[in-house]
Amino acid sequence: MEAFYGYGEPPSLMRSWSLLPFKGRYKNAVRFTKNGRLLDIGCGNGTELYKLKKMGWEVFGVETDEDAAARARGVGLDVRTGDLFQAHYPDQFFDVVRLSFVLEHLPNPKETLLEVKRILRPRGRVYISIQNARSLHYWLFGRCWFSLDVPRHLFSFSTETIQRFLNSLDLRIKKIQFDSGTRSFLGSLQYCLNEWYDERGRVSRNEPFLTSHFLRHVVQPICWLVDRLRLGDLIHVEIEKS
């Protein structure tokens, strides 16, 4: 993080070169802003927010789950219960706003991002993580796609639809990353297996695909290749306010 994302003192050039093989592991990291304020929308119990605070951010969060928000406040985090509109943050207050697998749950994503735009400083950044409805996983598994998650997910996005959506709000995409991982692929296989059991009136009480370490190792190279082809299951978008 110090070598590539502005956290702390940068290491020597030689050490930075030696760390290049590990850069991909942190490819979706939030780039540091000195004395920066960061808001995490849907921060849960504040696990990620706590890490970011330790790394130098002035952090804030909003969370609709009262118990989760209370746990976050219990470790000293400034987390408000409710949605973004109820928090009433001032204009141009934040340098970074983060929505990690939140946008698909919201009944009002357009209004939420307009509010994000209001509270974000000029040149501020938004980090959004969502599922990719034009992924290879969705094409393979259809209604058994692990990331479909109806009815909890109210919206599905692809790279094309998220770009059109953000363009309509005058928000500029700086970078799109793809990240499949093995959990979604094996979860989709598990859903197919469960459906097969249901059709035959059988009951499956375990999750052999989802919990198999062997299958994770088998599937991992496939997921890596799918991401290189820009057909990954998850999309991480970095956006800049003009």
Beta strands 171-178 and 234-241 are antiparallel
* CA-based nearest residue to 110, from 149, 159, 162, 172: 162
Give the per-residue pLDDT at 103. Answer: 95
Give the per-residue pLDDT at 19. Answer: 84
Residue-wise DSSP of 106-118? -S-HHHHHHHHHH
pTM of the model as a whole? 0.89
- Taking only the tens of pLDDT, the chain with its 242 residues reads 888 888 888 778 888 888 887 877 788 889 999 999 999 999 999 999 999 999 999 999 999 999 999 999 999 999 999 999 999 999 999 999 999 999 999 999 999 999 999 999 999 999 999 999 999 999 999 999 999 988 899 999 999 999 999 999 999 999 999 998 898 899 998 888 888 777 665 555 567 777 888 999 999 999 999 999 999 999 999 999 98
| Alpha-carbon span 205 to 202, nearest angstrom | 10
Q: What phi and psi values does residue 6 have, to the nearest 5 degrees?
A: 80, 15
Beta bridge partners of 239: 126, 173
| Alpha-carbon span 147 to 70, nearest angstrom | 28
State both tokens at 108. Answer: 């009002």
| Alpha-carbon span 103 to 221, nearest angstrom | 29
Q: Are 141 and 188 spatial neighbours (Cβ–Cβ below 8 Å)?
A: yes
Residue 128 burial by Cβ neighbours in a 10 Å radius (0-12, 13-18, 19+): buried
What is the CA angle 139-141-145, rounded to 5?
Answer: 105
Give the per-residue pLDDT at 205. Answer: 55
* CA-based nearest residue to 61, from 47, 48, 80: 80
Say which amino acid occupies 82: G
Angle between helices 213-228 and 183-199 (to 10 degrees): 120
